[in-house]
A = this chain, B = another copy of it.
Amino acid sequence: MSLDERQRRILESIIKDYVATAEPVGSRSVVRKHALNISAATVRNEMADLEEMGYLEQPHTSAGRIPSEKGFRYYVDCMMENENPTDEQIELLHQVLEDRVQEWNDVVQGVGHFLSQVTNYASFIIVPSVKLSQFQNLQLIPIQEGQALVLLITDVGLIMHRKINIPKSIMPDDLQFISALFNRVLRGKRLKEIKRSDLMTLRDELKNRRHIIDKALEAVDNLLSNSSDERVVISGALNIIKEPEFKDLDKLRRILTLLEEDGQLREVLPDHISDTVDILIGQENRSEDIREMSLVMAGYKTGSEMGKIGLIGPVRMEYWKAAGTVESVRQVIEEILRKRNS
């Protein structure tokens, strides 16, 4: 059932051609472009065989062949060599990110932009929920008469804050005392595991400063409940408008909506993450809605949790380039995260 060398070369020719042009590929153009020493007729015979085996298909009798999803899968699994971004591109990415190591949002933005720019596909980045990180440190900081800032810092260095009003009678020392109290009770807990009951025990401990404690509790509660769940950031969604497979306005709208509407993409991505590059082609996708798209993605480790980056494009995708880019970017991200946490 496996292919001989000539069949593989023909399959590859067809894939490269079809990916580039989005047109069915005829026997003549296979010999013309790839100068194998065989005639078009021979290629036709091989193509018929490849079709029978399911690697190619024919839109209609008198058209050329296009690779089937099985054909792409075979190519990806058995023949493909990743095409990495150029050194200049990687350099560029580093430069863009260098200034922003501290601003995780900007990093994500920059990475997404890079992915979609380089590949011309839509990119996505999944950032693990803040709620999975741990409470490290809380501080109440006086900022002006009658106001204080509640500052909450997590183990991965994320900083959240909220302003509260406080009675003017409260002294900085009081604030420090209260901060310490918070820290004692909450340190090391995962944010999502901090329950209202924890906050309540806190409240009971210090009856005489009830008012300010309440304010602080409220702020913390608010911070926790407003802190984002897993976030999905998408870049370059408009790239898909160029693909001829979406010249149908209705299809286009469905896909763009899927990409733009918050959370919709998340529904559609597989849960499993490996730390190598995963590729899902067309029908291999779990969800109906992207059965005519392909995914190329990889996981990255941020502390104890995993995030994902990836590309989404038509089945007729430059998998080699997509996979190479995703892998390179994954490495850069992990490097940055290492730098950031040190």
Contacts and interface: CB of A to CB of B under 8 A. Distances in A.
A161 interface: yes
B144 A137 contact: yes
Interface in A238-259: 238, 241-242, 247, 249, 252-253, 256-257
Contact of A162 (B102, B149, B163): B102
Interface residues of A, number: 32
B226 A253 contact: no
Contact of A159 (B106, B161, B253, B257): B161
Number of this chain's copies in the complex: 2
Given A143-B137, A149-B159, A238 B260 contact: yes
Interface in A98-144: 99-100, 102-103, 106, 136-137, 139, 141, 143-144
A102 B144 contact: no
Interface of A, secondary structure class, is mixed
B139 A222 contact: no
Nearest to A113: B262
A220 interface: no
A280 interface: no
A157 interface: yes
Given A226-B100, A249-B247, A253-B238, A141 B137 contact: no
Interface string A159-172: 10111000000000
Contacts of A260: 237-238
Nearest to A225: B99
A252 B241 contact: yes
Contacts of A136: 144
A293 interface: no
Interface in A139-184: 139, 141, 143-144, 149, 151, 153, 157, 159, 161-163
Given A249-B241, A249-B247, A226 B143 contact: no
A153 B142 CA distance: 12
Contact of A139 (B106, B141, B247): B141
5 closest Cβ pairs, A-B complex:
A241-B253, A238-B260, A238-B256, A159-B161, A143-B153
Interface of A: 99-100, 102-103, 106, 136-137, 139, 141, 143-144, 149, 151, 153, 157, 159, 161-163, 222, 226, 237-238, 241-242, 247, 249, 252-253, 256-257, 260
